[in-house]
Amino acid sequence: MAFARYVEPEIAVLYRVALTLAGQRADAEDLVQDALIRAYRAVDRFDGAHPRAWLLTILRNTHRNRLRIRVASPLHENEQDTGLLDRSDPARSAEDVVVDEQFEAVVADALAALPTMHRVVVQLVDVDGLNYAEAAEALGVPRGTVMSRLHRARARIRTRLVAAGLVPNRSRP
């Protein structure tokens, strides 16, 4: 009963974080499954406070353990659909589609150019919707570290967007 109460509502969040950590859908699913098995075995010792933080800690430790024993596998570009635009909307003008495609391409390039520690924070907070504390828990770093990495990453992405002429330059006077 405790598993259903504390764990099951957090499975979607665990999967999003696992996808960020693992990078591939199959690996993320395996990671979540392993973490859920560990949570199931330990749920009787869980005090009920902060289930998401508890589960993210289990997920992070499971991921670290898997990295220690696993040989790295190459990522395949076509494994994950990263398209952000819905191009099926007939009300959109051709200009909107082109600008959005350019914007998406610049953001994707900027994300790819970020150091891994910054890219993962952007993924967890801006894409997966975790708050700073949850992202910090998932990564095993202080909340302030998440905030500073996110600030630096967003600044680098914005610089690329300004350089491409896709957003106005908000330089301070």
Q: What does the DSSP assignment read for 41-81?
A: HHGGG--SS-HHHHHHHHHHHHHHHHHHHS------GGGS-
Instruction: Output the pLDDT for position 73.
Output: 45
Specify the pTM: 0.54
Mean predicted confidence (pLDDT) in 65-87: 52
Report the alpha-carbon angle 158-164-170, nearest 5.
45
Instruction: Output the pLDDT for position 65.
Output: 79
Element (H, E) at 118: helix 116-122
Q: Which amino acid is at 120?
A: V
Instruction: Output the pLDDT for position 149.
Output: 94
Instruction: Output the pLDDT for position 94.
Output: 56
Instruction: Output the pLDDT for position 92.
Output: 53
Could you give the CA distance from residue 162 to residue 123 in angstroms, rounded to a whole number? 21
Place of tokens 């199959």: 26
Place of tokens 């300004």: 162
Q: Which residue has the higher pLDDT, 68 or 109?
A: 109
From the CB of residue 158, how many other CB atoms can be counted at a distance below 10 Å?
15
- Whether 119 and 20 have beta carbons less than 8 Å apart is answered as no
Instruction: Output the pLDDT for position 69.
Output: 64
Place of tokens 């330089």: 171
* Domains of the chain with bracketed CATH: 2-69 (1.10.1740.10), 88-163 (1.10.10.10)
DSSP 139: H
Instruction: Output the pLDDT for position 99.
Output: 59
Instruction: Output the pLDDT for position 79.
Output: 46
Mean predicted confidence (pLDDT) in 10-16: 88
Could you give the CA distance from residue 152 to residue 156 in angstroms, rounded to a whole number? 6
Chain mean position to CA 73: 19
**Average pLDDT in the chain:** 79
Mean predicted confidence (pLDDT) in 3-23: 85
Spell out the residues 6+ positions from residue 124 whose beta carbon is closer than 8 angstroms to its own.
Answer: 17, 20, 130, 134, 135, 138, 139
pLDDT in tens, 79-104: 444 444 444 455 555 555 555 677 77
Using the predicted structure, report yes or no on whether residue 32 has a pLDDT greater than 80: yes
